[in-house]
Amino acid sequence: MFKQFFTKTMSFKMALLMPSKSLVSVCFWLLKVVVLLCMVFVVIWLSLRPKIPVFKVTNAYAPALDGLNSTFYRSKVSKNNSISLQFEISNPNKRIGIYYGDIYITLYSGHSVISSKPLPGFYQGYKISTVASVFADADQKTWRGVKEKHINLTVRLQTAVQYKILRSKSKHHFMDLEAYIPIGPDGRILEEDDVKLHRKV
């Protein structure tokens, strides 16, 4: 009799310790739900993680260096001292808009500042490219110092952007970019491809 009682007691304890099949199924289902939610969260986070805008110089022209302007090569003086630059500003994001503050563009020849021009800020939707033109005024000293029939310019761009994610705006992100622009004897950019601006080092 004692043996039967001991056997029943042990069986009851083992039954309490061993989870039922239904409980295991529920736990397994909850685990799958948690894993699925984590995967969805990661996908949403990656899709809403903003990418920085892309700035490119697509065209540049300095009439003072134009080989057709024979007056410049005879007197080293040009009546047109301006430098025109054309930029392409692209938003690579899929679902994120970008608010640009005023964009400040500075041209350098070596360490000397040639000109500085601002572009007004604007809003840009996602997957959109915007073209902007800048006309910088250089003085005649810039061209008198050019001994060869070309010049290497440095373009520096500074602005602050905010990302529009759903209905909210991010904090301001400051951008300081630059690129080197070689201008040939015809007054035009020597690069065959667009020149992309990179973070200033």
Kindly report, residue by residue over 127-181, the tens digit of the pLDDT: 999 999 999 887 666 666 565 667 889 999 999 999 998 888 999 999 999 999 9
What length does the chain have?
A: 201
Considering only CA atoms, which of 189, 69, 80 is closest in space to residue 139? 80
Give the C-alpha separation, 66 to 119, whole Å. 26
Average pLDDT over residues 15-35: 70
Distances (CA, A) of 56 to 24, 72, 178, 195: 58, 29, 10, 5
Give the C-alpha separation, 81 to 139, whole Å. 6
Per-residue confidence (pLDDT) for residue 6, from 0 to 100: 45
| Tokens describing residue 126 | 């996602």
Distances (CA, A) of 182 to 99, 133, 179: 31, 18, 10
Torsion, Cα of 18, 22, 25, 29 (10° steps): -130
pLDDT band at 100 (very low <50, low <70, confident <90, very high): very high
Considering only CA atoms, which of 201, 188, 193 is closest in space to residue 56? 193
pLDDT band at 72 (very low <50, low <70, confident <90, very high): very low
pLDDT band at 99 (very low <50, low <70, confident <90, very high): very high
123/82: higher pLDDT: 123
Distances (CA, A) of 194 to 64, 76, 180, 184: 22, 29, 11, 15
2/157: higher pLDDT: 157
| Residue 21, pLDDT above cutoff 70 | no
